[in-house]
Structure 1
Amino acid sequence: MSEARLNLDDFGDLIERPSARVRREAETRRGRIGLAPKSLGRLDELALWLAAAQSSVPVEPLTRPKLVLFAGDHGIAGLGVSARPAGGAHRLVRAVLDGTAPAAVLARRAGVPLRVVDTSLDCDPGELPAEITRHRVRRGSGRLDTGDALTGEEAGRAFRAGMAVADEEADAGTDLLLLGDVSVGGTTAAGVLIAALCGTDASVVTGRGGERIDDLTWMRKCAAVRDGLRRARPVLGDQLGLLAAVGGADLAAMTGFLLQAAVRRTPVILDGVVSAACALLGQRIAFRAPDWWLAGHAAAGEPGQAKALDRMTLEPLLDEGLGVGEGVGALLALPLVQSAAALAAELAEPASGGTPETPGTPATAAAADAT
């Protein structure tokens, strides 16, 4: 895609589906393993998906996952639509960097590297490491109910920043990306995008979130989504214009990240409602893109996520009543995906005499080569 020109239609040509031929080969190999069909449940389906995504039979074990968190503040939070204080996302980022946030604890426990990308935090960039702030587009996204969240130029810069991050991770050899957000007001922007793209009303997509906001806060949030929806509908045909009007720098960057990850044939586990909204917009841009994504979990208190996932025919891997965001759900789903990869990689096919061989033996290697 040209550096001088961002044409979202190009993604439709650049993104191919995971290989159907390799998936059939993986199904054939699975049939030769001495386990009853469907005995591994969802793990079997995940293994076939990974084989197609990797173009590899057997599947390669997942050894280099990475959690990427896009961070930003939203001006709409100033209306009291969140249990968190407006402009406070930098404190959440600081907790991630200090290792005290839930995502940091789980990532450390799982040995998963964690990266934070500041696109629009409402703080002095000098308060955070330069590696985190180098993709910043602006200080806080604007109020989406009465004005644009971004200018058109800022939306393009943010989108490109997300693409650049995806390229950096693919070039570094990351074999599975986990996508989350660290924001205040981000779920309101996500609700507007989902309502606009699904053609539904504000109340249908507006949840109480992980903080379980009270009735008054929920009504303010509904009103904000409603007002944003009025501004979103006229620009539905212009995806960058939609992100500029009612999205924000973090959502624009996440959308670019998801699409470029699909271009680079790198699978992604989505986290909560914000990543689901960006994925839904990504589907509008390139209809094959969702074939590269998994839904990590069903976010509690976020009906908009369920609407978005249903539109993309993505079924959450977990439903644990989890309300916290910041990549936690994607991290919890990761062991399930890694287990599917390990089983597909290491379960042996029978030798010619009908006895399964140990992985790594010449008979197994020959069988793998034959597929």
Structure 2
Amino acid sequence: MTMVMKRAGMLALGAMLALAQPAFAGETVGPGGEKATPSSEVTLSDAEAAKLKEGKYTAALLWHTSSDFVNAVTSGAKDEFARLGIEVVAQTDAGFDAAKQKSDVETILAKKPNAVLALPLDPVTSAEAFKPAVAAGVKIVLLSNKPKDFVQGKDYVTIVTDDLFQMGKHAADALAGAIGKKGKVAWIYHDAQYYVTNQRDNAFKATIEADYPDIKIVASQGIADPARAEDIAQAILLKNPDLDGIYVTWSEPAEGVLSALRAAGNSKTKVVTLDLSEPVGLDMVKGGNVTAIAADKAYELGRAMAAAAGAGLLGKTVPPFVVAPVLTVTKQNVAQGWQDSLHRDAPKSVLDAAK
């Protein structure tokens, strides 16, 4: 599975994720408007690691799916847990099924872990699913999503996610640079109430409007189902055949947009998107429409989650909302970009084409 699965299924659930969407503030904020803290500030000293080793603690990883992104987060978490002497005793994959995730919680609780790292799929279902873990005193660290009515410091340690504003800003800056800071662009955003994608998408739009007066967003279209991306792009291109650029909310629908551009014989319109995937990366290194991909440091997300869990076990106060850094991946830095984001080599097809 490629990076396309990073949020593909998760975002398809966007309409279910009834989290309160904070007002767009020009910076990344949590689902309840929490101020963001850089992940670099969530660290444990060697002395604290030694203290954790004495406790012989254990942890479990409850993931929403399997993907390159999840593998990178897992790798970062396991490396940090190893440093802290915390044994990972279970890892599950809910396959984007909230009922399966509830069952996974029950399964891992039988192993009595002291800490759990998890991405809750559905706020309502997960609130019920994770209650037994909270009651058992398990230190829960959340990735991106929050169970409904959960209170930080009482029910969970912290939420860790991307620097959402910077994801959108990096994409805007990259597209602007590719089209000479002037021209017409389309904005294809995630049409669901979900604070992760909403902030990323809005940051792109706000950056273009604030920083690039000679770039006009002439077409705006929401998308809920990635499978509709090609049709949406065809309709936009029909009305705007002279588009200079297109922003696409994440990499899976970006693949559909690329299909529409190829079908139209359009090699001019530049595309930017978020999150690494092999097809999008391959188009980029082959000199296709894709000019850049904004990506998060997924390995660092995992490291920060494990460090936060360790801090929770030590009774340390952890900031309520933690964000990992962002990078812009281009043809020039694709090999290093894949490593920095996913802590693994880029797909062979991408590396070969980049030579």
Query: What's the TM-score once normalised by structure 1's chain length?
Result: 0.29
More strand by proportion, 1 or 2? 2
Q: Would you tell me which structure has more helix in proportion to its own residues? A: 1
* TM-score normalised per structure 2: 0.30
